[in-house]
Amino acid sequence: MTAAIALSPSSPVAPAFAVPRAPLPDARRGAFDAVLDLRHAGLRCVRLQWEVRGDRARPAVAVLGGISADAHVASSAHLPAPGWWESQRETFADHCCVSFDWIGADGTLDAPIDTADQARALALVLDHLGIARLDALVGCSYGAMVGLAFATAFPERVGRLVAIAGAHRPHPFASAWRALQRNVVALGQLQCDETHGLSLARQLALLSYRTPEEFDERFDAPATLQAGAARCASEDWLAHHGAEYAHRTPTTAFLRLSESIDLHRLDPADVRVPTTLVAFAEDRLVPIDDVRALAAGIAAPVRLHALHSRYGHDAFLKEPDAIAACLRLAFDAPREVCA
């Protein structure tokens, strides 16, 4: 006969063997389908692809880049490929970093897209992940525009906003640059050479992202004759980056996301969360005066960092130390004394 052993409710019962738990991955990706009511195109079914990096117990920060950026912000042990903002990987080490692919980026959505639509898409991603409120939203270039739109539509869902190289409206000169790029793509399509047209459009975009001062330093060399035609020192660099972009980017995605920048416009007074703005004096796409006007109109504490860089609009990618310093100040500042 086997004797029975009585255990009190508080007595621990050790298992015969312990099953070790697999460590949670330090980064995860996922996707889900959703229906969005687009501002200019009505109800559309979209595929939302997201990535989360870092411990979910840490404060959540959404990080959004330019129109060519995706959800992969920085590398991790689980997803080791370099991200589009690899230089800021350690800056976000104390946060749970959330991002997503822009709606329209896969080229399947051929309809007008607005930054407000992207903001609603981000809200759906946060709902899907169970994140009620962001500690911060950091947006660069197009991501700064989307961040401003998100802060306008969902002020209760974000503790602070950091908008780098973005404003409340597209500058008319920058819109003219983009209109020309889209016309170049259209010409390529008429010539049955869409890829070449997209490559040339990207090369024009690169000229607007950078500055004459950088080109003077990098490409001050005499033109050479090749097959009887003059070729300037920057042409190979431009052609390489244009072809690389055209190879990985659907033409429809480029056109619709380019348009969405020009459709962006909001009232600065509708931004009601503590905000840090970063502008570059040499930025020809987002002039510093536009960012100053944005700062003056925001209905919340504001800090404006006015920086200099020979890289112009691309300085958010090319000046990692200066950007990291601005981000640290934004994260460390108490929300009520952000000004």
pLDDT digits (tens, 9 = 90+) for 180-197: 999 999 999 999 999 999
The stretch 89-103 carries a mean pLDDT of 96
The stretch 301-328 carries a mean pLDDT of 98
Residue 3 has pLDDT above 70, yes or no: no
CATH number for the region 180-262 comes to: 1.10.1740.110
Q: Which of these is catalytic: 95, 168, 305, 313?
A: 313
Active site residue 283: yes
Tokens at 13, concatenated: 């019962």
Contact 233, 221 (CB under 8 A): yes
Q: Is the dihedral of CA 108, 207, 311, 277 positive or negative?
A: negative
Residue 228 has pLDDT above 80, yes or no: yes
Q: Is the dihedral of CA 243, 245, 251, 256 positive or negative?
A: negative
Among all chains, which residue has been given the structure tokens 């997201």? 50
pLDDT at 20: 52
Determine the distance from the C-alpha atom of residue 7 to the mean position of all C-alpha atoms in its chain, rounded to a whole number. Answer: 58
pLDDT at 26: 87
| Residue 333 pLDDT class (50, 70, 90 cuts) | confident
Contact 252, 107 (CB under 8 A): yes
pLDDT at 25: 73
3-state class (DSSP) for residue 233: coil
pLDDT at 9: 38
pLDDT digits (tens, 9 = 90+) for 7-44: 333 444 444 445 455 455 789 999 999 999 999 999 99
Per domain, the residue ranges of the chain are 27-171+264-337, 180-262
Q: pTM higher than 0.85, yes or no?
A: yes
Nearest to 234 by CA among 196, 204, 201: 204
Contact 284, 211 (CB under 8 A): yes
* Alpha-carbon separation of residue 291 from 69, 79, 130, 193 (angstroms): 22, 35, 33, 38
pLDDT at 162: 98
CA–CA gap between residue 116 and residue 239 (Å, rounded): 33
Return the number of other C-beta atoms located less than 10 Å from residue 67's C-beta: 20
CA–CA gap between residue 238 and residue 245 (Å, rounded): 11
The topology (CATH level 3) of 27-171+264-337 is Rossmann fold (3.40.50)
**Half-sphere exposure of residue 243: CA atoms within 13 angstroms, side-chain side:** 6
Active site residue 313: yes
Q: Which of these is catalytic: 141, 199, 258, 309?
A: 141
Q: Which of these is catalytic: 283, 290, 309, 314?
A: 283
Equal CATH topology for 27-171+264-337 and 180-262: no
Tokens at 230, concatenated: 């003059």
pLDDT digits (tens, 9 = 90+) for 261-275: 999 999 999 999 999
CA–CA gap between residue 328 and residue 330 (Å, rounded): 5
Return the number of other C-beta atoms located less than 10 Å from residue 31's C-beta: 14
Among all chains, which residue has been given the structure tokens 């539509």? 153
Active site residue 128: no
